[in-house]
Amino acid sequence: MSKKVLVSGGLGYIGSHTVVELQKSGFEPLILDNLSNSSPQVAGLIGRITGNRPFFEQTDLCDFDALEGFFGRQGPLAGVIHFAAFKAVGESVAKPLKYYHNNLLSLINLLRCMGLHGSPPLVFSSSASVYGQPARLPVTEKAALQPPASPYGQSKQMGERIVDDAAKAGQVRAISLRYFNPVGAHESGLIGELPPGIPDNLVPYITQTAIGKRERLSVFGKDYNTPDGTAIRDYIHVSDLGRAHVTALERLSKGNNASGHEIFNLGTGKGYSVLEVITAFEKATGVKLNWDFAPRRAGDVESVWADTTLANLKLGWKAEKGLEEMMVSAWKWEKNLSAGILDQ
Ligand code: WQD
């Protein structure tokens, strides 16, 4: 049986950590990436971790003929894991067509090619942003979806819907994974997140401030209805997230899925406030952070954390790494990045 798994966007942040976990589990990941938000050096760095440099081809999934050519050349696939997408929330508000074009056309092209070439199972990257501010916490997969706050969030909801309709029509078997807040880096410090320009997300902003690339971290909002007044999120280590994709693929491969399109939350089930994350970083690394309070950020919700019961029971997956490991690994990566690991 084929062990080949197409990983679109496999040089990106979550994709690269998933490729490592796939190789560890005996799969042969084949990476397609258009390098819009990643670096070709990552393939070599994955090879340094696993001893096995993965296949990589620069391909844009919006190019149907190029994608179809790839499927034709590779023969049967054990599965497809689809990460390739634009993900900058703010940019998506300014450039909605760019986001809808890329995030939706790539998925549609992929589903069409899969249908033409043996219908391998699909694992789709979704986002906890589909929940907005949930009425009840922890949030389960059954919670009502909220109108998305950005074209990025809308493209993820529409992506889930496209997968759902294709599954109902018997055209694909799929699992969508709703990520909470992925942070951290591989324990080797060889791969991690490459935020382009000024980071939007908390942990890259923390590590860039600690290393001196940014002067000061702004903590957005101090008057939320939370114990310390700052917003709460469910931060999950990116390697735990990578492992969940392998588990999801195995569930589909074995035919253990309960329906044509299952959805799972991926989080730790525990929420931390922004101030708790800062304290955890300082404690884990011994580095003092320069920060102050700033007004709330538009579009931010107050508190979100996951009910992970379904993923624990059905996928047999549980997040293992805690906040300290997330901070230590993110810091190791930042130091390697600043030391020029991508230029070696
Ligand atoms: C976390 C908390 C901020 C930066 C976003 C997207 C989501 C997903 C993940 C996917 C919030 C606070 C942040 C800073 C701060 N994207 N913060 N100072 O907003 O939960 O989720 O990333 O691809 O779709 O919306 O994550 O890391 O930006 O923020 O105080 O400089 O940290 O206000 O409370 P968020 P985040």
Q: Whose Cα sits closest to atom 28 in ligand 1?
A: 201
Say what the pLDDT of residue 312 is: 98
Q: Whose Cα sits closest to atom 33 in ligand 1?
A: 220
How is residue 235 annotated by DSSP? E
In the three-class reduction of DSSP (H, G, I as helix; E, B as strand; rest coil), residue 28 is classed as strand
Q: Whose Cα sits closest to atom 14 in ligand 1?
A: 202
Give the position, in ligand 1's atom list, of the atom nearest the Cα of 129.
Answer: 24
Q: Is the dihedral of CA 308, 309, 315, 318 positive or negative?
A: positive
Q: Whose Cα sits closest to atom 7 in ligand 1?
A: 129
Cα-to-centroid distance, 142 and ligand 1 (Å)? 23
Give the position, in ligand 1's atom list, of the atom nearest the Cα of 206.
Answer: 31
Amino acid sitting at position 289? L
The helix-helix angle for 202-211 and 323-338 (nearest 10°) equals 50
The catalytic residues are 152
Residue to substitute in 160, 202, 220 for testing ligand 1 pocket (most ligand atoms within 8 angstroms of CB):
202
Per cent of the chain over pLDDT 90 is 97
Residues having CB closer than 6 A to ligand 1 are 87, 89, 127, 129, 181, 200-202, 205, 217-220, 231, 233, 274, 297, 300
Q: What is the pLDDT of residues 4-19, one digit of tens each?
A: 999 999 999 999 999 9
Question: Cβ of 89: how many Cβ atoms within 10 Å?
Answer: 19
Say what the pLDDT of residue 266 is: 98
Cα-to-centroid distance, 15 and ligand 1 (Å)? 19
Q: What is the pLDDT of residues 2-58, one digit of tens each?
A: 999 999 999 999 999 999 999 999 999 999 999 999 999 999 999 999 999 999 999
Strands 232-233 vs 272-273: parallel, antiparallel or unpaired: antiparallel
Say what the pLDDT of residue 114 is: 98
CA nearest 140: which of 123, 148, 128? 128
Cα-to-centroid distance, 6 and ligand 1 (Å)? 29
Q: Whose Cα sits closest to atom 9 in ligand 1?
A: 181
Domains and CATH numbers, the chain: 4-184+236-268+304-320 (3.40.50.720)
The pTM for the full model equals 0.98
Say what the pLDDT of residue 343 is: 87
Q: Whose Cα sits closest to atom 10 in ligand 1?
A: 87
* Tokens read off for 338: 């600043």
Q: Are 334 and 210 in contact (CB under 8 A)?
A: yes
- Which residues, given as ranges, of the chain have pLDDT below 70? none
Say what the pLDDT of residue 160 is: 98
Which residues have CB under 8 Å from 56's CB, separation 6+? Answer: 10, 11, 31, 32, 33, 40, 43
Residue to substitute in 201, 214, 273 for testing ligand 1 pocket (most ligand atoms within 8 angstroms of CB):
201
Cα-to-centroid distance, 66 and ligand 1 (Å)? 35
Say what the pLDDT of residue 146 is: 93
